[in-house]
């Protein structure tokens, strides 16, 4: 499973990448706004830091302008993936950009019929938003399972990118449900390796080792 980090903060991307766990980055207009940086500059910096796919979202709402924006964003670096919203215009732009050889991430997916349309529009990625569905009392993970079944039924190659991740449980459940990629906010990514029993066990091993007076290297 690939791990993307869901942020436009250079310092976070740089620190997390050094763990070797970051395969790509996703951004959106809200994350770019939070970074306080110029969109082109920050995307170029992220693309230089991370060799994997970096999603950059269009902000136009009609297909022609989305396509123009997508082509502009794609010129920033060769690892840019253009993100378009799951609207009819977004799907039209997706098909056109994909025909140009540009990778597209169709975002803001909330049901499996939408995901089916994205696959038919030749999306490279579909981004179902788990956390936002859970917030409404729906089961976001069920959506990942349904999309997995549908894509497998028809051998669609569109990759399922679990998004709107709020907890380590979302990450492991997405893996169990067959998501290809999970995009994780930095704070959640850091929490993935943490367990109180790991800390407790390590403290006890080290205390016993101290008593031996031995060294290893
Ligand atoms: C995905 O690409 C989005 O940027 C992101 O996962 C949205 O998450 P949120 O619901 O926490 O804003």
Q: Is 127 in the pocket of ligand 1 (CB under 6 A)?
A: yes
Q: Is 132 in the pocket of ligand 1 (CB under 6 A)?
A: yes
Please give the span between the terminal C-alpha atoms of the chain, in angstroms, as a whole number: 35
pLDDT in tens, 137-150: 999 999 999 999 99
How many CB atoms sit inside 10 A of residue 75's CB? 11
The catalytically annotated residue of 34, 83, 120, 200 is: 83
What is d(CA 12, CA 4) in angstroms, rounded to the nearest whole number? 12
The pLDDT of residue 102: 98
> What's the whole-number mean pLDDT along residues 11-20?
96
Does residue 129 contact residue 147 with C-beta atoms inside 8 Å? no
**Residue 75 bears catalytic tag:** no
> What's the whole-number mean pLDDT along residues 7-17?
97
6 Cα–ligand 1 center, Å: 7
pTM, two decimals, is 0.96
What is d(CA 195, CA 104) in angstroms, rounded to the nearest whole number? 36
- Structure confidence at residue 168 as a pLDDT band (50, 70, 90): very high
pLDDT in tens, 49-106: 999 999 999 999 999 999 999 999 999 999 999 999 999 999 999 999 999 999 999 9
Q: pLDDT > 90: what percent of the chain?
A: 100
- Computed over every residue of the chain, the mean pLDDT equals 98
Does residue 73 contact residue 80 with C-beta atoms inside 8 Å? yes
Ligand 1 atom nearest to 26, measured from its CA: 2
Closest CA to 187 of 1, 3, 7, 2: 7
């Amino acid at each position: 499973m690939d791990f993307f980090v869901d942020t436009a903060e250079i310092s976070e991307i740089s620190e997390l990448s050094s763990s070797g766990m970051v395969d790509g980055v996703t951004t959106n207009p809200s994350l770019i706004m939070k970074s306080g940086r110029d969109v082109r500059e920050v995307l170029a910096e992220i693309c230089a830091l991370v060799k994997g796919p970096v999603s950059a979202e269009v902000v136009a709402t009609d297909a022609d302008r989305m396509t123009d924006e997508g082509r502009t964003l794609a010129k920033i670096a060769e690892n840019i993936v253009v993100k378009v919203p799951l609207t009819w215009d977004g799907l039209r732009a997706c098909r056109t950009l994909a025909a140009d050889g540009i990778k597209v991430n169709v975002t803001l997916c909330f049901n499996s019929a939408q995901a089916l349309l994205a696959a038919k529009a030749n999306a490279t990625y579909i981004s179902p938003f788990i956390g936002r569905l859970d917030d409404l009392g729906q089961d976001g993970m069920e959506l990942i399972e349904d999309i997995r079944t549908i894509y497998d039924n028809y051998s669609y190659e569109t990759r399922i990118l679990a998004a709107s991740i709020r907890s380590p449980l979302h990450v492991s459940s997405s893996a169990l449900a067959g998501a290809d990629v999970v995009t994780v906010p930095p704070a959640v990514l850091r929490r993935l390796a943490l367990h109180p029993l790991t800390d407790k066990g390590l403290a006890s091993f080290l205390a016993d080792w101290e008593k031996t007076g031995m060294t290893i290297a």
